[in-house]
Structure 1
Amino acid sequence: MSEEIQRPRVGCGAAILDDQGRLLLVKRVKNPEADHWGVPGGKLDWGEAAHVCAERETQEELGIVVKAGRLLSVTDMVAEDYHWVAITYLADSFEGEPTILEDHALHDWGWFALDALPSPMTAGALDAVAALKAKP
């Protein structure tokens, strides 16, 4: 009997700001970090570029078209029962109105001012917000 080899998982997301500077966040259904608010995104597919994953997952989850821009943050999430690397891009642009298309993945969504964020937030979203607040 062979033992399953554990490997890190990679998730990619997009930090999307509207014209008022508010951040689009989604409330997650699944673990890790179920019931936490985070940026839209999801699992990286084999052979897929990380920025393409962020764009694809955002469209699949919320029906909006995103153009991923610069790398905003990379978050290591390592625990006894999971190991994820969350890559977040700053969206250069987006088109459409968010609508939950994957209710098995998301409970809710909303636009939030950077000084009035919901709680609890995912580790990746916290790192992305810190990077946004530390703009060069």
Structure 2
Amino acid sequence: MTQDPQRPRVGCGAAILDAQGRILLVRRVKNPEADHWGVPGGKLDWGEAARTCAEREIQEELGVRITAGRVLAVTDMVADDYHWVAITYAADGFEGEPTIQEAHALHEWGWFALDALPAPLTAATRDAVAALRAT
């Protein structure tokens, strides 16, 4: 029996801003980047469009509906024990109040001003925030 070759994984998420310009962040349970704060999102499924993945994962994790807009950042995360590519979209608005729907994936969530972010941040979130600040 042959072993499947290692392959990069793809994660998709979105930067969601409220009316005050604060960003919605979640504190992750799982690796990579466990206990880091990041934009909500999750793993791309086979045959799924990346935008659809971001919208689905955010609804599954937080009960919030978004429409994924423009791409803010594409982040390569390569280490000895993982290889992920993270696509972060800007959310074109949102509906609903965040509540943790998947406690196995998220510790907590919060709204944060872009100049008062918690630490540590995920790599994808650092890239997304840099893109938001540049616009």
Q: Separation in 2 of the partners of 1:124 and 1:133?
A: 14
Q: Separation in 2 of the partners of 1:59 and 1:41?
A: 9
Matched, 1:132 2:126: no
Structure 1 gaps of 5+ residues are none
Q: Who is 2:65 aligned against?
A: 65
Once the two structures are TM-superposed, the CA of residue 87 in structure 1 deviates from its matched residue by 0.2
1:51-130 alignment, distance < 5 Å: 51-130=51-130
Aligned length: 135
**Partner-residue secondary structure (3-state), 1:31:** coil
Once the two structures are TM-superposed, the CA of residue 5 in structure 1 deviates from its matched residue by 1.1
1:37-52 alignment, distance < 5 Å: 37-52=37-52
Q: Separation in 1 of the partners of 2:4 and 2:55?
A: 31
The letter for the 1-side match of 2:109 is: W
Q: Who is 2:32 aligned against?
A: 32
- What is the CA deviation profile of residues 55-104 of structure 1, one whole-angstrom value per residue up to 9, with x for unaligned ones? 00000000010011101100000011100000000000100000000000
Q: Which sits farther off after the overlay, 57-66 or 3-12?
A: 3-12
Once the two structures are TM-superposed, the CA of residue 4 in structure 1 deviates from its matched residue by 3.6
Instruction: Compute the RMSD of aligned alpha carbons.
Output: 0.7
Q: Who is 2:13 aligned against?
A: 13
Q: Separation in 2 of the partners of 1:101 and 1:112?
A: 20
| Regions of 4+ moved over 4 Å | none
Q: Separation in 2 of the partners of 1:90 and 1:3?
A: 38
Once the two structures are TM-superposed, the CA of residue 3 in structure 1 deviates from its matched residue by 3.1
- What is the CA deviation profile of residues 12-62 of structure 1, one whole-angstrom value per residue up to 9, with x for unaligned ones? 001000000000000000000000000000000111110110000000000
The letter for the 2-side match of 1:20 is: Q
Structure 2 gaps of 5+ residues are none
